[in-house]
Amino acid sequence: MLALDGGAYGASLRRFADGLPERPRAILAVSAHWQAHLPLRVTTAGKPGIIHDFSGFPAELYAVEYPAPGDPDLAGKTIALLDAAGFNPVADPQRGFDHGVWSVLRHAFPDADIPVVQVTLPVVEPARLAELGKALAPLRNEGVLILGSGGLIHNLRRVRWDSAGDSIEPWALEAEAWFMERIEGRRSDELSRHRELLPLSFEAAPSTEHLDPLFVALGASDEQDSLMTVIKAFQMGNLSLRSFAWM
């Protein structure tokens, strides 16, 4: 529902986008909502459209559009980079953008005039996800913003649907703090072993698709980058909205 009324979350995304040193030439997105087994797929359509990939929500949410163009040239470069890294990607000329992409971008870039390409989130180990990010990193030098869309704490069985989010459950705060300490310290090995090292890992992420974009973004970052917090917030008692950027 944040896609409709972003509140402080949406305002923070817009401030971040407005404060970028340069407007992105294009956006390359990896989302928790397009997880698939290899081979990787890359959207190549010039006008991909969006997918309303959910059910049971108000009709007004299904009326939302985000008509950002695709970028076939960027898609081709992406495929070449991923092929060189051994991912054997394939073009997907049909796929539209899922809500993990458009629900974020409609706040950050509401004019929908920046081209977007999406890559599948593969079902692989964190180290390989980081290699995916590293393979994409050269695109940053061409003005491409690399977006990893997921969530540090995302357990829909634990959320309090009737809560305004004023009271945050201690276990969620503890788990998020564990992740952020290691993100800030670029402690990739410990992050990749969260199932082993963090007892709350299965509470924070019963399945890993919402955490996995983190490893792609971390792989695409550089050790010289500064970590910037875009927003620090929770909703519904324990659902983390924490957003950050390496710049």
Give the pLDDT confidence of 47-106 residue by residue, as tens digits: 999 999 999 989 999 999 999 999 999 999 999 999 999 999 999 999 999 999 999 999
Domain boundaries of the chain, sorted by first residue: 7-246
What's the pLDDT band for 1 if we cut at 50, 70, 90? confident
The H or E element that residue 110 is part of is none
CATH number for the domain running over 7-246: 3.40.830.10
* pTM metric for this prediction: 0.96
Q: Which of the 8 DSSP states describes residue 223?
A: T
Residue count of the chain, please give it.
247
What's the pLDDT band for 161 if we cut at 50, 70, 90? confident
81 φψ region: left (φ > 0), alpha (ψ -120 to 50), beta (else): alpha
Of the candidates 67, 65, 25, 70, which has an alpha carbon nearest to the alpha carbon of residue 43? 70
The 10s digit of each residue's pLDDT in 103-128 is 999 999 999 999 999 999 999 999 99
